[in-house]
Structure 1
Amino acid sequence: MKALWNLLRRPSVRWSMLSLLSMGFIGGIIFWGGFNTAMEATNTLEFCTSCHEMRDTVFAEYKQTIHYSNRTGVRAICSDCHVPKDWTHKMARKAKASFEVWGKLVGSIDTPEKFEAKRMTLATHEWERMKDSNSRECRNCHNFDSMSPTIQRSSVYRKHMEAKAAGKSCVDCHKGIAHQLPKEYRDPDE
């Protein structure tokens, strides 16, 4: 009985290490679950439109597009276009997005007028990000190889195949597909 009491009172190094590893493992699962849940919560439409800058400007514009309402009933939400799916790129994007939140906190885009004054800068940053990733988020739903010559109009299909052959990114031709173009925007092809 005394040996059992000593074991319970003062566990061996082996049992201490096992306890430490078990607690670390369980703690890691809890941390990762909480972290992942928080990350996914910031990818919801409700989160993205919780501030008036988004709700009253770009969200209102987006609601008028085919990405919001279409014959198939498939709806793309903010994170479908603005947040990569894979973990590494998602974390990098979330880190950059924290600077956008900073803009809201310090008041640089907290009114419609301030937002419109920065729209070209904000759009340019997003277009550059999309160009650098070869429109990775667009290609989650749209893929040149899946485009049908019998369903698309022939002129549209031809343009898509020309864009594919030229190595163009979706954003090269489709700026303003979900949001208004900035007043200062000039199409380089015009």
Structure 2
Amino acid sequence: MAFWGKKKKETNPDAREDRKAGLFRKLWQKLRNIDWKDPVTRWKVMFISLIGLIVVGGGSYGALTLTNSPTFCSSCHEMAPEYSTFTASAHNNITCVQCHIKPGTINMLTHKVKSLKEVYYHVTGVPKQIVQTEEEVVSNENCMQCHSKNRLVTASGDLKVNHKGHIDEGIPCISCHAGVVHAKMAARGINTDEVRGDFTKETAEKIMEKKYLRPNMGTCIDCHDKVNNGEKPWKDVSYLVPPNPEEVEKKIDETKKESVSETAKETTAKPAEGTPGSGTAEELAKAHEEKTQELILQAIGKQQKDVKISMSCETCHKKLNIPKTHKAVDWNQNHGTTAILKLDQCMNCHQDSKWIREIPKEDIISLLKMGNEKVIYTPNVTLAKDQARTNKFCAACHADRPAGHGESDQWLTAHASQAKTADQKAECFVCHDREKPAADSTSAKAPTDVYCQYCHRTGFKSDVKN
């Protein structure tokens, strides 16, 4: 016997009809009783069906229109940085989906289904930082809806870029124009969860610096260099998007665990040269500096190589001219004073950050306080010296022994007359330190390890200190 007891079998067949009919039973009975041969009835059914289609279709279209609008995207607080930079960009007259969804109804509907995961993330907890995934890379089809690929020069007329040649090669527009709307916030690390509530259009305007909106020269150089080495970096989608900080942290943790494990095993095997991860941090940093300096030497014509794409400046720049002052015969020996007086102008061309693809992390609070106002430079010997020590352009010459030093034995006994005044000493200290630098020193490292007190251990005759 069942737990709830057996169901009693009805003996009276009319009892079923006596029971109160449910909603669906009533509707079914009405449908069965309709006279479908009546023309009026058929017209009524057609009219009701038409109204139903209009309501359903209109509702679906309204839902699509709503979810396609930038206002809908901004309804989630985690999208505040992206939305505010969008409103401050030159693309604020189009919708988000015109860039982020490929053209076509099927692509639109497919994207809506995939976007349900964003709703899940919103409810369960948003990530610390919003980053573009490999699946969300903006395609060339989206860009071609508004832009022509037949452009050969930039709007300013300075850069010569064969856009058609790049696109025909399969290079995505986003590989160069990644910051045109959102100013590369993810790569800069300034759209994290703790600052999302501070983002407004005014805030975004402060961080929309031209160097992040325009193509990064370091990206062009890095890509061209890889092509010259037989690579096609744009084929790897991860090359086009900023690294996900959560995945980076995960890899770092895994690397630490592997390192601890290897140490526990007391492994003494040394990795082969040139393999990823081989060498100390200092060796890797040195290799990176040498690579950067090699590219700079190619650009300024001091190092010629048989390459597929020339790395010289005039390959891409149309209006790039060497200043008249640089053409003077003694410019190499006498440009130190100019560097101190006009360091900001020198850095317009001779800035290392323009030659590397990586973007340093930034502090959003400091950016908001400073804004993107132009800082007025005042002549500063210390800044010029530090820049000369660390800048790869300067190192291209400063790393070599100057011709004015002459023979070592003669220079050692005759250089005192060249280091009497504070200004003369400042020129010396571009390459040399006064005292032996400490191992943990945070100041810029001198190009040479020769320092004054190595010989002048009992002091200096001159009272002028620097």
Is TM-score (shorter-chain normalized) higher than 0.5?
Answer: yes
For structure 1, list consecutive stretches of 5 or more residues without a partner in the other structure: 1-8, 69-74
TM-score using structure 1 length:
0.67
Q: What root-mean-square deviation, in Å, do the aligned CA atoms of Structure 1 and Structure 2 show?
A: 3.1
In structure 1, give the amino acid aligned to 2:186. Answer: P
Q: 1:92 to 1:25 in 2, by over 3 A?
A: same
> Are the equivalent residues in 1 in contact too, given 2:70–2:83 (CA < 8 A)?
no
1:54 Cα deviation (Å)?
Answer: 1.0
Matches within 5 A, 1:68-107: 68=92, 75-107=93-125
1:14 Cα deviation (Å)?
Answer: 5.0
Distance 1:44 1:93 in 2: 14
From 187, 190, 198, the equivalent of 1:183 is 187
Q: 1:154 to 1:144 in 2, by over 3 A?
A: farther
> Are the equivalent residues in 2 in contact too, given 1:175–1:181 (CA < 8 A)?
no
**1:136 matched to 2:136:** no
Matches within 5 A, 1:1-40: 11-13=35-37, 15=39, 16-40=41-65
Distance 1:52 1:63 in 2: 15
TM-score using structure 2 length:
0.30
Distance 2:187 2:75 in 1: 25
1:28 Cα deviation (Å)?
Answer: 1.1
Distance 2:154 2:82 in 1: 33
Which structure: greater helix fraction? 1
Deviations 1:77-106 (A, max 9, x none): 322212344322111111112211221111
Q: 1:12 to 1:45 in 2, by over 3 A?
A: closer
Matches within 5 A, 1:142-161: 142-145=147-150, 147=151, 153=157, 155-156=159-160, 158-161=161-164
Aligned length, in residue pairs: 160
From 95, 116, 135, the equivalent of 1:125 is 135
Poorly superposed stretches of 4+, deviation over 4 Å: 148-152, 184-188
> Are the equivalent residues in 2 in contact too, given 1:41–1:47 (CA < 8 A)?
yes
1:27 Cα deviation (Å)?
Answer: 0.9
Distance 2:60 2:119 in 1: 19
> Are the equivalent residues in 1 in contact too, given 2:89–2:181 (CA < 8 A)?
yes
Deviations 1:121-157 (A, max 9, x none): x343311xx3xxx422222111214x4769562634x
**1:65 matched to 2:89:** yes
Distance 2:181 2:156 in 1: 20
Q: Sequence identity of aligned pairs in percent?
A: 23
Q: 1:126 to 1:14 in 2, by over 3 A?
A: same
Which residue of 2 is the match for residue 72 of structure 1?
Answer: none
